């Protein structure tokens, strides 16, 4: 008898049987909106360069043992929008660009994996760094023919019965898609059983036992999104705050488990603006959320599944723009986002309409390192100076428009020059059809080792967790 062969067969049989019973009780579904593989790659290269090395400094994310990649086209377009992309990740079906959780006609609602988790008895959290009614989070709880139906999307929160929603705020709290004024959504939600809490410390002080929560930023802050990570101060609400608070809320006195979706929504926003440094900081900030989930996994390794992916790539980011030398470390000199730099330039214009080129140049240098820390090619300086002359001398306020911003031309040209110095290239100010990465660890994670479609990702999570989906 071949004992070695027999032992191996028995071991394999027992492993298959055991695997059949193993299923995750805690599910983290982490979505970096717009985060392509090169966005992750940039974070590793930059971190290595800050340590004085050429190469890569692995992130917790890229050390996950199971890795795949996914296509992201929608039903109607080769390049998806966040409505169709979010829907694919939430419900496992393709739809038309712009739709939320429905078929292409916008008439048939699809059940999301979050509802499947709730049906199984898991607590459910839907969280984001942008507005709660934005496309990706909306796809997990709403069913609308247009991602722009913000009030209608938010109105579906009570129907879900989910335990926690968190984000910056609501985009249209008192106005329907056809511009009718209606009861404030905050009032509606509270009437229907949700408690609204605000500020970064809300869930660190109280988990509001037995209550469903909508957790928003302070009323004095913007409702469309949290501040970019590069602009945040210590007292600003962050995605990490939301993630850690959500884990605390959902795991409290809970032996059935939870499903938590977290969207790093502003990777996409900064990539639309081709703002390399801000995009880098958004990826690193999203990685803090991944680390928070991983810390939970280390405490519950036999009960947890973490899946990290993206709804699409934004910007067509490339690393290397001609030379064999990378200089991503130059991005570290940028201290504020392109939008904040634009605001600072605008304030200078308001307070000193006769500001000289040297005044503007010093402001740019202080916030980007251009000229003081980094040599600026004469062609780029000429372009920035010409924009200064149009703006401050001729009073022609040129702007650079992208999907989520309309920035001062001087600011966008300054960031463009820094990108070039840092060896970054961009092919688009919109989404692309590039594959998106898929990283997984934990119970059932091995089924993500493949090339897949974005619709396969929630199906695989449901397969691992034995959800009726």
H helix runs in 171-275, sequence order: 185-191, 202-205, 239-251, 266-272
**Has residue 7 got a pLDDT over 50?**
no
3-class secondary-structure state, position 466:
coil
The whole-number pLDDT of residue 338 equals: 98
**Has residue 90 got a pLDDT over 90?**
yes
The predicted-structure confidence for 342-355, as pLDDT tens digits, reads as follows 999 999 999 998 89
Burial class of 331 by CB neighbour count within 10 A (0 to 12, 13 to 18, 19+): buried
3-class secondary-structure state, position 80:
coil
- The pLDDT > 90 percentage for the chain reads 91
d(CA 77, CA 232): 36
d(CA 5, CA 197): 61
Q: How do strand 123-128 and strand 26-32 relate by DSSP bridges? A: unpaired
- The mean per-residue pLDDT over the stretch 84-108 comes to 98
Residue of 74, 47, 83, 113 lying closest to 281 (CA atoms)? 47
Residue of 325, 278, 286, 310 lying closest to 426 (CA atoms)? 278
Contact 261, 126 (CB under 8 A): yes
The predicted-structure confidence for 314-372, as pLDDT tens digits, reads as follows 999 999 998 899 999 999 999 999 999 999 999 999 999 889 999 999 999 999 999 99
Give the distance, in angstroms, between the CA of residue 103 and the centroid of all CA atoms in the same chain: 24
Backbone conformation region of residue 121, classed left if phi is above 0, alpha if psi is from -120 to 50, else beta: left
The whole-number pLDDT of residue 413 equals: 98
Task: Give just the sign of the alpha carbon dihedral 351, 354, 359, 364.
Answer: positive
Angle at 115 between CA 166 and CA 439, to 5 degrees: 70
The whole-number pLDDT of residue 399 equals: 84
**Has residue 17 got a pLDDT over 80?**
no
- The mean per-residue pLDDT over the stretch 442-462 comes to 98
- Largest Cα–Cα separation, the chain: 94
């Amino acid at each position: 008898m071949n004992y070695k062969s027999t032992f191996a067969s028995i071991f394999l049989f027992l492993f298959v049987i055991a695997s059949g019973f193993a299923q995750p009780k805690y599910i983290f579904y982490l979505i970096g909106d717009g985060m392509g593989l090169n966005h992750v790659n940039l974070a590793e290269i930059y971190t290595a360069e800050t340590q004085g090395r050429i190469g890569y400094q692995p992130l917790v994310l890229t050390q996950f043992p199971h890795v795949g990649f996914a296509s992201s086209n929608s039903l109607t377009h080769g390049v998806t929008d966040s409505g169709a992309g979010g829907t694919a990740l939430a419900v496992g079906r393709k739809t038309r660009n712009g739709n939320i959780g429905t078929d292409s006609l916008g008439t048939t609602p699809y059940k999301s994996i979050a509802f499947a988790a709730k049906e199984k008895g898991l607590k459910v959290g839907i969280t984001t760094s942008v507005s709660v009614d934005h496309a990706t989070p909306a796809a997990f709880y709403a069913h609308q023919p247009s991602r722009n139906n913000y009030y209608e999307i938010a109105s579906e929160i009570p129907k879900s019965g989910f335990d926690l929603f968190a984000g910056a705020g609501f985009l249209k709290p008192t106005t329907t898609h056809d511009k009718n004024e209606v009861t404030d959504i905050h009032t509606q939600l509270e009437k229907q059983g949700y408690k609204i809490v605000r500020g970064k410390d809300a869930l660190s002080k109280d988990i509001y036992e037995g209550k469903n929560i909508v957790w928003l930023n302070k009323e004095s802050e913007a409702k469309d999104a949290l501040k970019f990570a590069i602009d945040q101060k210590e007292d600003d609400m962050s995605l990490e705050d939301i993630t850690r608070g959500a884990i605390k809320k959902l795991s409290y006195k809970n032996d059935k488990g939870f499903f938590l979706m977290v969207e790093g929504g502003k990777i996409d926003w900064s990539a639309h603006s081709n703002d390399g440094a801000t995009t880098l900081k958004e990826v690193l900030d999203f990685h803090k959320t991944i680390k928070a989930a991983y810390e939970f996994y280390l405490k519950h390794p036999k009960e947890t599944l973490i899946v990290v992916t993206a709804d699409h790539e934004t910007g067509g980011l490339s690393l290397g723009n001609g030379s064999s030398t990378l200089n991503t470390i130059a991005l570290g000199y940028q201290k504020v986002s392109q939008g904040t730099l634009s605001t600072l330039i605008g304030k200078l214009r308001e307070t000193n309409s006769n500001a000289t080129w040297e005044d503007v140049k010093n402001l740019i240098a202080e916030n980007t390192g251009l000229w003081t820390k980094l040599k600026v090619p004469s062609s780029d300086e000429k372009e920035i100076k010409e924009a200064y002359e149009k703006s401050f001398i001729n009073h022609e306020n040129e702007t650079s428009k992208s999907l989520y911003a309309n920035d001062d031309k001087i600011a966008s040209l300054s960031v463009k020059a820094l990108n070039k110095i840092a060896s970054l290239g961009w092919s688009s100010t919109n989404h692309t059809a590039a594959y998106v990465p898929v990283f997984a660890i934990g119970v059932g994670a091995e089924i993500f080792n493949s090339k897949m479609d974005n619709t396969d990702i929630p199906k695989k999570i449901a397969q691992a967790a034995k959800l009726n989906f």
